[in-house]
Amino acid sequence: MTLEQTTERTSTDYRSELFIDGAWRSGAEGRTFPVIDPADNSEIAQFAIATEDDCVEAVDAAARAFPSWAATPPRQRSEILRTAFEILRSEREHLAEIMVRENGKAFADALGEADYATEFFRWFAEEAVRIPGEFRLSPNGDKRIITTHQPIGVSLLITPWNFPAAMATRKLAPALAAGCTVVLKPASETPLTAAYIVEVLTRAGVPAGVVNLITPDRVGPSVERMMKHPAVRKLSFTGSTEVGRVLLKQAAETIISTSMELGGNAPFVVLPGSDVDAAVEGALVAKMRNGGAACTAANRFYVHTSVYDEFAGKLAEKLREFTVGPGLDRANKLGALVSIKERDKVADLVDAAVQDGAKVTLGGGKLPGGAFYEPTVLVDVKHGSAINQTEIFGPVSPLVPFDDVDDAVRMANDTIFGLIGYVFGEPQHALAVAQRIDAGMVAVNRGVLSDPAAPFGGMKQSGIGREGSSEGILEFLEEKYIATTP
Ligand code: NAP
């Protein structure tokens, strides 16, 4: 890495083009779309629109680059990822600033995401050189069983807007470590973060064609066309369950391997005998990280009646201290939602809950200027009401009381989703309840659990497969069994 590569960047002149076959360029039709700062609705940039043909060109480029990238020694791939890690670590403020501007999140959230996102390059740099294989004798001694893992092929990576950096690096890092070449399609709200990360990868030494970036406006048809391209062997998608369902059907056409990180509806259970202050601290993180716009966000609070009033009161007290405003002002703890449309969805859910009998003890309103919504606490929410069945994706905490722990478990599991749950209580009790929660991940007496070294993923309609951990790289590898003489 040269000194130049580590220089702190402060430019607001963001990359806003497609990246295909090692070149930054506009789309074939020269059209662009605006990227909006939701804190003040100003335009940050005009980003190139990819035509369907541009998308196919990106897949063609990835297909051409695949044989040599797959054959590149793991150590070399690893060192490129490690360099990307070093660059991103030294430019974390710049990465955070791009995310704040196009996503609206608070600066502290953006810095936290920048660090989390960057860690995937370090983690998978370490995994690239540990791809597993076996060489053993069959039980009856008639053959050698050799198992090896080879890169699956050209991979299509589709990401959402809520964690524009981490959702991209959680896919790019294992794919590249495995020896796959990729086409990255970021969310239309947040393409600047993706373009910056791709630029960092090129500075780290990723060869032409290995990573491609496209931003089609006709996203459904463009993705469908790419999935029919014979070179595409993998679809790794993070986004809503609704879109995931459509993509799974399309993947069936050409039997493409899929990894699906979909929606959540996380229960947050506060058991009798809980340390209420600790539960409130956990709730603040589980609810308010990223302004509530997280698939892992606590979405439904089930609180035992013995601690309900104390929990509700203390939570509202702490949330009242949250300053709301543009994320670029680091004093603000809660930034804007990603768009006015998303903000209005949150407002509609709160209004519907109130119509359904819930009481607002804090907040409950839109704020002027940009896509801002007040930190909000709702009590006496009915289990099964719309706000309990929908991902809120905003700073709203709906509280449901319970008397019986079995009831709490039943309500927690009464959802089509199964991404994550939170349980607070006396440790042995909380651990026992955690084991009964139908979710891929459960945080016990903690408000956050994501870690690149841990398997991230959901059960039920929250997804298929795991990211991070030693399993994340396996999603981009095919196991091959070779039999030979003993
Ligand atoms: P989304 O609407 O499903 O969009 C996700 C991505 O899919 C975007 O890049 C979007 O592109 C693209 N897309 C939309 N329609 C498509 C189609 N027909 N074919 C192919 N791609 C299509 O989700 P979102 O609103 O951006 O993100 C929020 C959702 O993501 C929430 O449900 C959240 O829970 C989930 N999420 C899950 C995880 C997890 O790890 N489980 C993590 C983060 C977020 P455009 O932007 O161009 O429309």
pLDDT digits (tens, 9 = 90+) for 440-465: 999 999 999 999 999 999 999 999 99
Q: Looking at the predicted structure, is the pLDDT value of residue 5 above 70?
A: no
How do 477-484 and 266-270 pair as beta strands?
unpaired
Q: Which residues pair with 283 in a beta bridge?
A: none
For tokens 């963001």, name the residue: 14
Higher pLDDT, 321 or 3: 321
Average pLDDT over residues 363-369: 96
Render pLDDT for 240-294 as a digit per residue (tens, 0 to 9): 999 999 999 999 999 999 999 999 999 999 999 999 999 999 999 999 999 999 9
Q: Residues for the chain: how many in total?
A: 486
CB 194 near ligand 1, within 6 Å: no
At 6, is the pLDDT very low, low, confident or very high (cuts 50, 70, 90)? very low
CB 102 near ligand 1, within 6 Å: no
- How far the first Cα of the chain sits from its last, in Å, is 47
CB 264 near ligand 1, within 6 Å: yes
Q: Which domains does the chain have, with CATH numbers?
A: 18-262+462-484 (3.40.605.10), 266-451 (3.40.309.10)
User: Percent of the chain having pLDDT more than 90?
Assistant: 97
Average pLDDT over residues 305-332: 98
CB 220 near ligand 1, within 6 Å: yes
Which residues, other chains included, contact 109 with Cβ-Cβ below 8 Å and sequence gap of 6+?
Answer: 289, 290, 291, 327, 335
Mutate to test the pocket of ligand 1, among 243, 258, 390, 391 (most ligand atoms within 8 A of CB): 243
Q: Looking at the predicted structure, is the pLDDT value of residue 128 above 90?
A: yes
Average pLDDT over residues 119-142: 98
Listed in sequence order, the DSSP H helices in 367-451 are 386-389, 405-413, 427-434
- For 257-260, the CB contacts below 8 A with 24+ separation are 257/152, 257/233, 257/475, 258/234, 258/464, 258/465, 259/234, 259/235, 259/463, 259/464, 259/465, 259/467, 259/475, 260/463, 260/464, 260/465
Average pLDDT over residues 1-27: 71
At 406, is the pLDDT very low, low, confident or very high (cuts 50, 70, 90)? very high
User: Percent of the chain having pLDDT more than 70?
Assistant: 98
DSSP 171-197: HHHHHHHHT--EEEE--TT-HHHHHHH
The residue type found at 208 is A
3-state secondary structure of 151: strand
Distance, in Å, from the CA atom of 148 to the CA atom of 136, rounded to the nearest integer, reads 12
Instruction: Return the residue whose CA atom lies nearest to atom 47 of ligand 1.
Output: 188
Mutate to test the pocket of ligand 1, among 113, 238, 245, 246 (most ligand atoms within 8 A of CB): 238
User: Per residue in 278-298, is it b (16+ CB within 10 Å) or e — as a string?
Assistant: ebbbbbbebbbbbbbbbbbbb
Average pLDDT over residues 306-324: 98
Which pLDDT does position 13 carry in this prediction?
A: 80
